[in-house]
Amino acid sequence: MLRRILSNDLPRSGMLTMLLLAIFLGLAFAPFVFPGIKALNVAAKILVFIVLVASFDLLLGYTGIISFAHTMFFGIGAYGIAIAVTRLSPSWSAIAVGLACALALSLVLALAISLFSLRVRALFFAMITLAVASAFQTLASQLSEITGGDDGLTFRLPEVLSPAFRLSREPFLGVSLNGRLVCYYLLFILAVVLVLTLLRIVNSPFGRVLQAIRENEFRAEAIGYRVVLYRTLSAVISALFATLAGAMLALWLRYNGPDTSLSFEVMLDVLLIVVIGGMGTIYGAVVGAVLFVIAQSYLQDLLRLGSEVAAGLPWLAALLSPDRWLLWLGLLFVLSVYYFPSGVVGRLRVPPSDEGAR
């Protein structure tokens, strides 16, 4: 049964199994185990990032092509919900309309980008996505009548998801059963379903072909698979999942702006999580997202502390300032690509004795 749910792709490591189980249980009972608004926000962000990064892993880890436009699709999903709900009404039908439009837009854009770049060489894809994503970001902040410009959009959601809604008058296990809780569990169910679907996709015959293309494009073509077609499909599927992750983000935040979903910083986060977690293992996205989001939420405080300690040395203080968070992320990123390319999951899956042989 479990084997079927996980698409026959078991963690294959005792440590990893424990870790994943702990993450699953931790997220499932987060509102009860870790009370407080900040903790719940962190947990929700983890859920969103798990889906976003897992969808990116399909592209980077399994197909071996890099996209810098993943946050664009993420943003399309978030803006889809935000614009539809603001324009129409805070209702489920508006959410459905927004999501459908966002998915359609992502589909068309991903298809167009892929067909233009992938038929020449996979390298083009990285460059073209970078250009398109930056144009889209400019466009989103310029068309302020629709997108709210740099300020973004704040909106209301259906009654059931709003904080004012009460499931019951009595608190349950010390936690009040309000709309935020409903929203969190909606995200949780969505995340579980989407991750399992992605696991299904990468372990299907289609996923195997993607891996074959990653390992040896020429040979895959020679065996008779249309490499362009498979890469395009992979890019489109990945874009659609990113759009769904964006919708999840918008549902949770009840706000969307260019900085939250479109910015290059988010793209960097995604890249870093994939590399840290382990490329080409959907589980890597889960582990990486948990580690990273927790670190991001609490490490910045640590940097601030370091900066205050180093106040006597202006140079060091400037380096340690929380504003320079990206510098350390970038360093961490380069070092992990060099020395830690298989990520946490890859490391856990290889028994220590085999490591020398690899």
Partner 1 sequence: MRRDFDWKPLLLVPALALLALPAVGSLPTWFTLTIAGLAMGMIVFIIASGLTLVFGLMDVLNFGHGVFIALGAYVATLVLGCMGDWTQSQSIIANLVAVLPATVAAMLVAGAVGLAFERLIVRPVYGQHLKQILITMGGMIIGEELIKVMWGPDQIGLPLPAGLRGSWQWGDAAIEKYRIMALAAGVLVFGVLAWTLARTKIGLLIRAGVQDREMVESLGYRIRILFIGVFVAGSALAGLGGVMWGLYQENVIPQMGNQVNVLIFIVIIIGGLGSTTGALIGALLVGLTANYTGFLVPKVALVSNIALMVAVLLWRPEGISPVARSR
Contacting positions for partner 1 (CB under 8 A):
60, 64, 66, 116, 119-124, 126-128, 130-132, 134-135, 138-139, 142-143, 264, 268, 271, 275, 318-319, 323-324, 326-327, 329-331, 333-334, 337-338, 341
Is the Cβ of residue 7 or residue 67 nearer to partner 1 in the bound state?
67
First CA to last CA distance, the chain = 33
Assigned token pair, 55 = 């969808």
Would you tell me how many other CB atoms lie within 10 Å of the CB of residue 257?
A: 23
Is the Cβ of residue 138 or residue 216 nearer to partner 1 in the bound state?
138
In whole angstroms, the minimum distance from the beta carbon of 59 to partner 1 comes to: 11
In whole angstroms, the minimum distance from the beta carbon of 326 to partner 1 comes to: 5
Is the Cβ of residue 23 or residue 320 nearer to partner 1 in the bound state?
320
Would you tell me how many other CB atoms lie within 10 Å of the CB of residue 266?
A: 19
Is the Cβ of residue 16 or residue 279 nearer to partner 1 in the bound state?
279
CA atoms of 20 and 39, how far apart (whole Å)? 19
CA atoms of 276 and 246, how far apart (whole Å)? 22
> By 3-state DSSP, what share of the chain in percent is helix, strand and coil, each rounded to 5?
80, 0, 20
Would you tell me how many other CB atoms lie within 10 Å of the CB of residue 160?
A: 12
Is the Cβ of residue 40 or residue 227 nearer to partner 1 in the bound state?
227
CA angle 113, 116, 120 (to 5 degrees): 130
